[in-house]
Amino acid sequence: MTSNYNKNAGVTLVEMLIAMLIGLIILAGITVVYLSSKKTFNLGSNMVNVHENGRFAINYLVKDLQRAGWVESNVVPSEGFSLTKPLVNFKNNQTVAGGKSSDAVTVRYYGEQNCKGEIPADGIVENTYQLVPGDELSELQCNGVTLLSNVESFQLRYGVLSQDGLQYVSADMLTPQSIIKSVQVGIIVASKQKNVTTENSVTVGNVLGEGPYTFNDGRYRQVFTNTVLINNGGSLPPDELLVSE
């Protein structure tokens, strides 16, 4: 007599453990891809913000510096009107990484309003640009109004005529006889968010003769520079473009 035995259907414990292990491996892979994608997205987003903010600040500075010493041809200056003041050199006292001081500059010209929207009584606009301490990093301000946050260096070099042609010098090298033909502007802009770069320690190169700078907070940083040609008669004595070291 032959007996028939029905085999039990199902999976063994070993098969279950193998399936769980495979599932964990797949889940770990998905997690790694997600975290990597998130970090890449954060870096890309911060790069875009830094680029847009940096270009805005540089363009704003360029447009204002181009007005230095400007008086419209159809304007008849009132009695006592003058763009002439002694050369002013003052320390910003706001330092960046490495103990380097940032620069400051006061731009003067005939205009309708300053960067705060105020109308000058004598028609002379004075806009002072400098770095001031912010919540975490420095802010680039004009007459106390913040143009851009997270700025870590603000450097200026002045193109003056010499026997050797045009040379770019710092403010402390200017004299009342210096003829300023152009101005170089340089800033370092950092991302608001920390730990977005693959390496926490980042070295940023030379900014108009200052640097390099080393940072250790994982922020994304970018250097922006531009050269401004003086439009008003082609040149300025330094008493019409108040400068600082």
Tokens representing 43 are 């870096």
Amino acid 189: pLDDT: 95
More confident position, 62 or 72: 62
Residue entry with tokens 């403010």: 171
The span from the CA of 146 to the CA of 134, in Å, is: 10
- The model's confidence at residue 89, banded by pLDDT at 50, 70 and 90, is very low
Tokens of 233: 């008669």
Domain-embedded: residue 3: no
In whole angstroms, give the CA distance from residue 51 to residue 148.
12
Domain, as residue range, for 59? 34-229
242 belongs to a structural domain: no
Instruction: With a cut of 50, say whether residue 113 has pLDDT above it.
Output: yes
- Do residues 82 and 126 touch, judged by C-beta distance below 8 A? no
State yes or no: pLDDT of 19 exceeds 90. no
Answer whether residue 114 is part of any domain: yes
Number of domains in the chain: 1
Residue 93 in this model has a pLDDT that exceeds 60: no
**Residue 86: is the preceding peptide bond cis (ω within 30°)?**
no
Q: Is residue 86 part of a domain?
A: yes
Residue 120 contacts residue 111 (beta carbons within 8 Å): yes
Q: Is residue 12 part of a domain?
A: no
> Is position 240 within any domain?
no
185-239 pLDDT tens trace: 999 999 999 988 878 788 888 888 888 888 889 899 999 999 998 876 555 666 5
- Where do runs of H (alpha helix) occur along the chain? 13-65
By C-alpha distance, which of 196, 197, 220, 218 is closest to 50?
Answer: 220
Residue located via tokens 């028609």: 123
Given the structure tokens 């606009």, which residue do they identify?
125
pLDDT tens for each residue of 46-57: 899 999 999 999
Mean pLDDT across 62-85? 65
The C-alpha atoms of residue 235 and residue 213 are separated, in whole angstroms, by: 33
Task: Tell me whether residue 135 is in a domain.
Answer: yes
CB 218 within 8 A of CB 196: yes
Lowest-pLDDT range, 12-21, 35-44, 112-121? 35-44
- Asked if residue 241 belongs to a domain, the reply is no
